[in-house]
Structure 1
Amino acid sequence: MMTHESRSVSRRKFVAGVGAAGALALAGCQDTGGSGGLSGEVVITGSSTVFPVSNRMAEDFMAEHENVNVTTDSTGSGGGFENHFCPGNADINGASRPIKDSEVSNCSDNGVEPIEFQVASDALTVAVNNDHPVDCMTFDELSQIWREDRVTQWSDVRDDLPDEDIKLFGPANTSGTYDWFNENVVGESYDHTADHQATEDDNTIVQGIEDNKWAIGYFGYAYYNENSDRVKALEIEASEGDGCTEPSLPNAKDGSYPMARPLFIYANRESIQREEVHEFLSFYLENAETDVVEDIGYVPSSQDLRDQNLSKLEENYEG
């Protein structure tokens, strides 16, 4: 794993200006405890997909700033916006899809201005039991399984599959992953079925698939990456004849995997004015471009995206 360095935007600009010798001098003068007098609390809610990244960033930041408490809670993208972020009870909300107009309106009604930062990309993964005979599925087949008037047996999907009931495990309707899958895979003409075991805990989805030969579910690639020995990831064919593509970070990065998607965090502009939130966001956005994100199981942001994010952060910071 590549080690990463915690740097605020102001320190980053300063180091670039003073050069290597100045950087060494600055490092020698820093507080050895890493606290630098910074204190306070940062509250993060939202996407279970983004949660592993935010949680890792929180742990690493607190290791360097012992007087700052960063709490992370996996509530689902929509659940975080509705119940925590837009009411003003969270500083940052992770989201595995862009914020909705209705959520922006809800935030505005409460005096919350969400500032968007894309921090990574994901290869949303559909998984089945290791003993399941299927290795690749099309969007149309997945839609048949996951739509409201869905097929109920595997033989309804393909003639060569047995008359076994399809067991569904997936995210709750407060999840951004649910929203993305509903819009892009189930399709605009259909609604996502409610006939599935819904949860905000992706580990529960993995467990359900592992325990049932005829189960199927979907979640962020990081959870498959952690559990690749327990379940089988399906290759995906967007349309028949396109060819099957496996979920992987390289395939998500180059766009060849049809279920690649961006991941976001949204910060309350008012919260950004608090030093501990500003410094944490600076840390987060800088390190989102490192191997830390890839080790978790997502595509890191690019250098250009990192610099755009940091510029946007400074544009919204009045300190």
Structure 2
Amino acid sequence: MFTNVLRKGSIVLASTVLAFTLAACGNNGGSNTAGGNTAAGGNNTGTEQAADLKGEIRIDGSSTVFPITQAVAEEFMAVNNGVNVTVGEGGTSTGFKKIINGEIDIADASRHVKDEEVADLKAKNQEVVEMPIALDGITVVVNKENTWAKEITVDELKKIWQKDSTVKLWSDVRADWPKEPIKLYGPGTSSGTFEYFTEEINGKKNESRTDYTPSEDDNVLVTGVAGDKNAMGYFGFAYYEENQEKLTAVSIKADANAPAVAPSVDTIRDGSYKPLSRPIFIYPLKSALAKPEIAAFLKYYNSEEGQTLVEEVGYIKLPAEDYQKNLDQLK
């Protein structure tokens, strides 16, 4: 039933209507579904259907978290055909703006909520609940024909990506690299991945050179790097895994004397892929937890079924106790 949602190029224009289509053709029978009216508490594992579960759940935010949330939404709606779940991918900051403005119920985020966003919510008598749902490693990628940039230091990445960078050619990074122009691709400024990368690599959040091709759609970045021998980009690990036949992941050296570490499930999980390993999140409105359909959806998201989907779309699931902590917040 679950389709590989990382292949967003074919569905992105329909992402806002997919929920309605799936809801219309979902399974009308059986008892294997998420939650129901008991989803906010108890020991329900997310596999009992509530026939009267109805409503709409609106989600937007991180393009990195999008594949997980979209996969969960597809499976949840297939067995809860009275619930419509729409999932956008406008970027983490956009997701928080929308939840502050009351436009959505859940924000996908590839960074922690900011103090000022918490304050804006409080001013409207609202708050969000932080739920970590997976681990990700921001992956620096180059074209398959790139035979020189197999590994790079954090300082060299900073030299390339910092504000007002003077790097124009690969040879500006290392003298023995080609005297060819670097074509750069990366997330847009509303992306949590952009914020995390700039803070960890450039030393200051949101400070970056601006002469690169930005996009909130990671498939645009994949296509750009795959189509240019001299290109470099960065995005979530799952998008690299989905496209590794087209791209090469660059191993990262925390400093000049450190070993070069490639992103992988193991190195992201154990934190040795640094400084670009990170948790990713969903943030439901606390007031929305009282709605049975939203409580059921969140319970399903954190259930064993949801954890399986985390891995199916290429991310690294958290320890079981982390999902249990999320579930405890629903009681």
TM-score range (shorter-chain normalised) is 0.7 to 0.9
CA contact (8 A) 2:181 2:230 kept: yes
Matches within 5 A, 1:58-207: 58-82=73-97, 84-133=98-147, 134-150=149-165, 151-188=167-204, 191-207=207-223
Alpha carbons 2:99, 2:105 under 8 Å: kept: yes
How far the C-alpha of 1:189 sits from its partner, in A, is: 9.3
Equivalent-residue separation in structure 1 for 2:205 and 2:127 (angstroms): 32
Give the drift of 1:299: 0.8
Q: Where do residues 1-319 of structure 1 align in structure 2 (5 Å cutoff)?
A: 6-8=33-35, 10=38, 13-14=42-43, 34=49, 36-82=51-97, 84-133=98-147, 134-150=149-165, 151-188=167-204, 191-258=207-274, 259-287=276-304, 290-314=307-331
1:19 corresponding residue in structure 2: none
What is the aligned partner in structure 2 of residue 24 from structure 1?
A: none
Q: C-alpha separation between the residues in 2 aligned to 1:6 and 1:245? A: 41
Contact 1:122 1:261 survives alignment (8 Å): yes
Q: CA deviation at 1:110?
A: 2.6
Cα deviation 1:246-296 (Å, max 9, x = unaligned): 111111111111111000000001111111111101111114763321121
- The residue identity in structure 2 corresponding to 1:110 is K
RMSD between aligned alpha carbons? 2.1
Any conservation in 1 of the 2:141–2:248 contact (CA below 8 Å)?
yes
**For the structure 1 residues 88 and 37, does the alpha-carbon distance in structure 2 shift closer, same or farther, using more than 3 Å as the test?**
same
How far did residue 187 of structure 1 move?
1.4
Q: Give the Å deviation of 1:313.
A: 2.1
TM-score (norm 1): 0.88
| Contact in 1 for aligned 2:300/2:306 (Cα 8 Å) | no
The AA in structure 2 aligned to 1:303 is: A
* Partner SS state of residue 299, structure 1: coil
CA contact under 8 A between 1:221 and 1:297: conserved in structure 2?
Answer: yes
Runs (5+) with no aligned partner, structure 1: 17-26, 315-319
Kept in 2: contact 1:289–1:303 (CA 8 A): no
CA pair 54-190 structure 1, distance change in 2 beyond 3 A: closer
Q: Secondary structure at the match of 1:313?
A: coil
Q: Distance in 2 between matches of 1:116 and 1:190?
A: 22
Are the equivalent residues in 2 in contact too, given 1:45–1:93 (CA < 8 A)?
yes
Letter in 1 for 2:35: S
Structure 2 counterpart of 1:98, one-letter code: H
Q: Is the 8 A contact 2:238 2:313 kept in 1?
A: yes
CA distance in structure 1 between the aligned counterparts of 2:305 and 2:110, rounded to whole angstroms: 15
Q: Counterparts of 1:228 and 1:282 in 2: how far apart (Å)?
A: 33
For the residue of structure 1 that corresponds to 2:60, the secondary structure is: strand
1:15 positional shift:
6.0
Segments of structure 2 that go 5 or more residues without pairing to the other structure are: 3-31
What amino acid does structure 2 have at the position aligned with 1:113?
Answer: E
- Secondary structure of 2:136's aligned partner: strand
Name the CA shift for 1:312/1:235 in 2 (closer, same or farther; >3 Å).
Answer: same
Contact map agreement 1:51 1:72 (CA 8 A) in 2: yes
**CA distance in 1: counterparts of 2:129 and 2:205, whole angstroms:** 31
Q: Distance in 1 between matches of 2:206 and 2:118?
A: 25
Q: Secondary structure at the match of 2:303?
A: helix
Paired residue total: 296
Separation (CA, whole Å) in 2 of partners of 1:242 and 1:174: 32
Give secondary structure in 2 for the equivalent of 1:114: coil
- Given that 2:301 and 2:307 are in contact with CA atoms closer than 8 Å, whether structure 1 keeps it comes out as no
